[in-house]
Amino acid sequence: MTEPSPMRWWGWGDPAHPSVLSGRALELLRQTVGLSPDPRPPVALDAVALPASRLGEAKLDSLRAILGSDGVRVDHAERVRHAAGKGYLDLVSIRAGTPRAAPDAVALPDSHPQLRALLELAARESIAVVPFGGGTSVVGGVQPIAGDHPALVALDTGRMSAIRELDRESRIVTVGAGIRAPALERHLAAHALTLGHYPQSFEYVSLGGCVATRSAGQASSGYGAIAKMLLGLRLSAPAGDIDLPPIPATAAGPGLRELLVGSEGALGVIHEISLRVRPAPEERIDEGVFFESFQAGLDALRALAQEHAMPEVARLSDPRETWLSLALADSGGRESAGHTPGRLARELKQRLGRAYLGLRGFGEAATGRCLAILAFEGHSDEVDVRRSRARRLVRAHGGLLVGRSPGEAWRKGRFQAPYLRDELLTHGVIVETLETATRWSNMARLHAAVAAAIERALDAQGTPGIVMCHVSHLYETGASLYFTYIARQRRGAESEQWSAVKRAAGDAILANGATITHHHAVGLDHAPWLSREIGETGIAAIAAVKAELDPTAIMNPGKLALAGLANRV
């Protein structure tokens, strides 16, 4: 099994990945939000300033006695790689060579006994432990915060990544939690199976990290979010182990599995997980649909979700996101590897005729049209039936079916956004996302309120931007709203700018009865809202579990709003 190349320390993804920023996109951004006249690439790795490790040789020797000498890393490169996740503030600081903190060492246990010994040593010696899977958190979830402890290690789960059991009859795979999503999918593909979990972080994410953060993949409408896939897990905490075997369902008391899903490393280290798998799809069909309005699209998606026509992937862009997608899809700029936006634009022109012209310029407010992408996959017969039903429902809501191109273009670019974000940072442009979920009857109101809040906050920062959104992750009762905003960075005041927008959006989300996060987890960024969402008594209940499992509070300090640390928003 090939391991992925280590991720760029200063940003997202494979170091060998080509540029994804087209000339046309850059020009469009120059005309709208404005670019910095002063491009600012990341500094060189050697130039990153790290504090000296606070772990003396005696403690490092104790760690090495447990993990072996190659299981303890204190070199500059490894400390930098584990100094931050991939949130906006992480990137701003690490690209500048000034990470906000860094682990004093990186620990790599390769077994449960090593893991237990490590946690017990850390508890004894007051060393904070930050579990680190793929390092892909966008909410500060792997931020090295030592709290009251004199030192901190990043606990990299990468060596606990074996496939332990594949129970094909029951369709359950049991793996070490450090396994990366692509490695698991490759293994399953050899047995004609799939997990079907494709978050945007797919290329680097660890499955244990997905469980710890309640991840939902792009195909969650069909496959379910990770919480639905999880049948069993093993967690090691400083105070002991919790081993929950894979069982399809149980009424044996409070939902302990679900309590540990979303525990974000603050309750212990999830080191083994058992997940439901499915047959690899025989067939996969992408459908593009235009709706006359966002509301018509919402109604159609609701019908799909409620009337036995749920697609695996559903994604309805609001008018602004629709406009931007098409504007960027229009040929003119260079086409990056794997992208065929020019072809998409040509095909849409042919199909939509004059209607297309209204979409591609700045006339989006006038047309209000919305593009949806639906993807159906699975067993051919079953997909055919479900897709026919879906097409009927879509047409009944005035949807115009425009073929496979939009979906295929999306599929080709589905993991590209983080690469684009990095390139735009060089040009002084922030691209940030945030997401929520609510019931169907609250969707339109929430969409309007959050978009307006973000727009106002950007205006107040003096950096008016583009705010757009799509609906995805459908349920019978509601769905997720995923917002993206693009604006000029306030260089030198990046944190202030970002925090102002985050505060406005988070407040609007809570004021409108939605969740502060549907699939990005809490980490540091959402901690200020957690008590408003689950109440002080809810926080106290989780804090009590933490105090029991992690009595000296070494596990991922400052996350989940449990430690009472000042947070950064």
For the segment 340-399, give every residue that binds a second copy (CB under 8 A): 378-379, 381-382, 385, 389
Q: Which of residues 523-552 bind a second copy (CB under 8 A)?
A: 526, 529-530, 533-538, 540-545, 547-549
In single-letter form, the type of residue at position 251 comes to A
Q: Which of residues 65-104 bind a second copy (CB under 8 A)?
A: none
If one asks whether residue 556 binds a second copy (CB under 8 A), the answer comes out as no
CA distance 450 to 438: 12
Q: How far is the CB of 37 from a second copy (least distance, A)?
A: 39
CA distance 301 to 184: 31
CA distance 108 to 455: 44
If one asks whether residue 278 binds a second copy (CB under 8 A), the answer comes out as yes
Question: Could you tell me whether strands 278-279 and 466-472 are parallel, antiparallel, or unpaired per DSSP bridges?
Answer: unpaired
Taking 3-state DSSP, the helix, strand and coil percentages for the chain, each rounded to the nearest 5, stand at: 40, 20, 40
The token pair at 489 is 């960075």
**Looking at 160, 326, 434, 522, which residue binds a second copy (CB under 8 A)?**
522
Q: How far is the CB of 333 from a second copy (least distance, A)?
A: 35
Q: How far is the CB of 443 from a second copy (least distance, A)?
A: 9
Of the candidate spans 81-89, 97-105, 209-217, 445-453, the one that interacts with a second copy by CB under 8 A turns out to be 209-217
If one asks whether residue 439 binds a second copy (CB under 8 A), the answer comes out as yes
Q: How far is the CB of 345 from a second copy (least distance, A)?
A: 35
Q: Which of residues 4-43 bind a second copy (CB under 8 A)?
A: none
In single-letter form, the type of residue at position 287 comes to E
CA distance 542 to 267: 9
**Looking at 21, 115, 146, 267, which residue binds a second copy (CB under 8 A)?**
267
* Spatial contact of 222 and 377, defined as CB atoms under 8 Å apart: yes
**Looking at 44, 252, 365, 566, which residue binds a second copy (CB under 8 A)?**
252
Of the pair 214, 360, the CB lying nearest a second copy is at 214
Q: Which of residues 441-460 bind a second copy (CB under 8 A)?
A: 441-442
CA atoms within 13 A of residue 90's CA, in its CB half-sphere: 29
Closest to 517 in 3D by CA, of 534, 500, 492 = 534
If one asks whether residue 216 binds a second copy (CB under 8 A), the answer comes out as yes
Of the pair 16, 252, the CB lying nearest a second copy is at 252
Of the candidate spans 247-255, 346-354, 405-413, 483-491, the one that interacts with a second copy by CB under 8 A turns out to be 247-255
In single-letter form, the type of residue at position 311 comes to P
CA distance 49 to 83: 11
* Residue window 474-493: x/- pattern of binding to a second copy, with contact defined by CB under 8 A: -xxxxxx-------------
Q: Which of residues 136-175 bind a second copy (CB under 8 A)?
A: 167, 169-172
Count of residues in contact with a second copy, rule CB under 8 A: 95
DSSP H/E element including 167 = strand 163-167
If one asks whether residue 518 binds a second copy (CB under 8 A), the answer comes out as yes
SS3 271: strand
If one asks whether residue 225 binds a second copy (CB under 8 A), the answer comes out as yes
DSSP per residue, 424-487: HHHTTEEEEEEEEEEEGGGHHHHHHHHHHHHHHHHHHTT---EEEEEEES--SSEEEEEEEEEE
If one asks whether residue 211 binds a second copy (CB under 8 A), the answer comes out as no
If one asks whether residue 293 binds a second copy (CB under 8 A), the answer comes out as no
Q: How far is the CB of 378 from a second copy (least distance, A)?
A: 8
Q: How far is the CB of 562 from a second copy (least distance, A)?
A: 9
Q: Centre a 10 Å sphere on the Cβ of residue 87 and count the other Cβ atoms it contains.
A: 23
CA distance 338 to 217: 21
If one asks whether residue 251 binds a second copy (CB under 8 A), the answer comes out as yes
* Spatial contact of 213 and 230, defined as CB atoms under 8 Å apart: no
CA distance 323 to 484: 13
If one asks whether residue 258 binds a second copy (CB under 8 A), the answer comes out as yes
The phi-psi region of residue 368 (left if phi > 0; otherwise alpha if psi is between -120 and 50; otherwise beta) is left
* Spatial contact of 299 and 372, defined as CB atoms under 8 Å apart: no
Of the candidate spans 26-34, 128-136, 197-205, 510-518, the one that interacts with a second copy by CB under 8 A turns out to be 510-518
The token pair at 76 is 């500059």
In terms of C-beta density within 10 A (0-12 exposed, 13-18 middle, 19 or more buried), how is residue 264 classed?
Answer: buried
**Looking at 2, 16, 18, 248, which residue binds a second copy (CB under 8 A)?**
248
Of the pair 66, 260, the CB lying nearest a second copy is at 260
If one asks whether residue 514 binds a second copy (CB under 8 A), the answer comes out as yes
Q: Centre a 10 Å sphere on the Cβ of residue 431 and count the other Cβ atoms it contains.
A: 21
SS3 213: coil
Of the pair 55, 542, the CB lying nearest a second copy is at 542
Q: How far is the CB of 404 from a second copy (least distance, A)?
A: 23
* Residue window 399-438: x/- pattern of binding to a second copy, with contact defined by CB under 8 A: --------------------------------------xx
Q: How far is the CB of 261 from a second copy (least distance, A)?
A: 6
Of the candidate spans 21-29, 103-111, 491-499, 508-516, the one that interacts with a second copy by CB under 8 A turns out to be 508-516
